Amino acid sequence: MINPDAKLVANIFDNPAQGSTREGFGKGVVEAGKIDERIVVLTADLAESTQAHHFQKAFPERFIQVGVAEQNMATVAAGMALYGKIPFFTSYAAFSPGRNWEQIRTTIGINNVHAIVCGMHAGISVGPDGATHQALEDIALMRSLPHFTVISACDVEEGRKATLAAARLGSPVYMRWGREKTPIMTTPETPFEIGKANLM
């Protein structure tokens, strides 16, 4: 489905405004947490890099630091989802879903539970960190799983709206986030709907 009435930024590449998509997650998950107290955030020792520290500051009682244990984080998130929470769990995409794909597949995808996998620093945008941190396979890995919706926001503003949409979806979601700042091409008024394209 295409939305021809989308309000987008004119002259996108002349626009000096920039932000990373992961910053959109940081804003969006706090906003979602204010709306729905079932939302919790877990991270694997990367609160600041994943922007989860904003949620930690706003809702410390709903923030869980699991340490460097991505497989455990996925299964804890699945358990929380089965008991009515809406967990967003964060790490670098090279490690989640890269390291914990089997746990995501078995405990979240097959069971169709509403947990949101947030793979940060995805793609080659983390060039200086080297090949071990460049998740190039994550979209292919997650699109192969049952029940998953895969979202990759185009900019910081769409990232905020995508986070809110993922919180409401009711089924498993993989959200792919970049590290580096990119031009902002959408506005707060630009509509966002999962599965619907905005025609530029």
70 is a catalytic site residue:
yes
DSSP string of 1-65? -EETT--B-TTGGG---EE-HHHHHHHHHHHHHHH-TTEEEEESS-TTTTTTHHHHHH-GGGEEE
- For the stretch 165-194, pLDDT in tens is 999 999 999 999 999 998 898 999 999 999
- Judge whether 163 lies within some domain: no
- Judge whether 168 lies within some domain: no
Contact indicator for 173, 108 with CB cutoff of 8 Å: no
pTM of the complete model: 0.92
Catalytic residue, from 23, 70, 157, 158: name it: 70
Average pLDDT over residues 153-167: 97
b/e sequence 142-163, b meaning 16+ C-beta within 10 Å: beebeebbbbbbbbbbbbbbbb
What is the tally of structural domains in the chain? 1
- Judge whether 47 lies within some domain: yes
- For the stretch 33-65, pLDDT in tens is 999 999 999 999 999 999 999 999 999 999 999
Domain membership of residue 96 as a residue range:
12-154
Instruction: Decide if pLDDT at 13 tops 70.
Output: no
For residue 69, what is the domain's CATH number? Answer: 3.40.50.970
- Judge whether 82 lies within some domain: yes
